[in-house]
Amino acid sequence: MTPPDKQTDPGAPEGGQPAGETGSRAVTEAALFEAFGGVRGLVETTLPGLVFIAMYTVNKDIHTAAITALVISGVMVVVRLLRKDTVKHAFSGIFGVGFGVLFAMMTGNAKDFYLPGMLYTLGLALAYLVTAMAGVPLLGLVLGPVFKENLSWRKRNPGRKKAYTKASYAWGFILLGKSAVLFPLYFWGDTTQFGWVTVVLKIPPFLLAVYLTWIFLAKAPAPINVIAEMEAEEEAAEAEKAAAEAATAQAGTPGRHRR
């Protein structure tokens, strides 16, 4: 999902609130579009795995399925580059596919195509939960710069910190639940069945986590735009300096037409 052409500024000065609940939700939605890549990002991370299991289901050839998935992932990166779009989601997708191809070809087990992604999901779930319990929720670290609030939510905006903590717990438990389904299938399930379940579970858990994040943040206090604060401080300092220089120049100018 490509971010809207006209994005709402997700930051607001301390004490300032967006115009009503609708404005707050629009701000949050725009930031989540940017952070998670939207529909297009989902397609770029899901399509290679879908192609792999579809081809493997038909011909049972790991090499052909793996190379085709890698080529498709590479094409999506090239398309992004040609259109001069952000490539972070496409690059993360091609790296994941590349590791999957490497694992599958080294072991000769088609299930291993999905193993790097599974390990990443499990690690990410634990990171969300541990950071939330530690009082430094991972989602706040990720979304803070997107909202132009950086880490101001930690001490200056407790309501927002609470929202980030709730959202991080939501991500952690959702991804942990996904892992609880996939790992038993990886060890004991049929290869084709495992592959299709992996593809099916790619999007719904992600959408649920994003939706809950949107709910939590839309109800939270507005972000403190520390970038705007820094710019305002710099402008004030420059204005003060200019005024001081002008006063010095005026004081040092000798009076004219004195008799």
Q: Where are the domains of the chain?
A: 20-228
pLDDT in tens, 26-84: 667 767 776 676 777 788 888 899 999 999 999 889 999 999 999 998 888 888 888 87
Residue 23: what pLDDT? 56
pLDDT reported for residue 252: 66
Handedness of CA 168, 208, 124, 226 (dihedral sign): negative
DSSP bridge partners of 12 = 224
Mean pLDDT, the chain cut into blocks of 10 residues (259 residues total) = 42 44 65 71 85 92 92 87 74 84 92 94 97 95 89 92 96 97 95 94 92 92 84 78 77 57
Which residue type is seen at 227? I
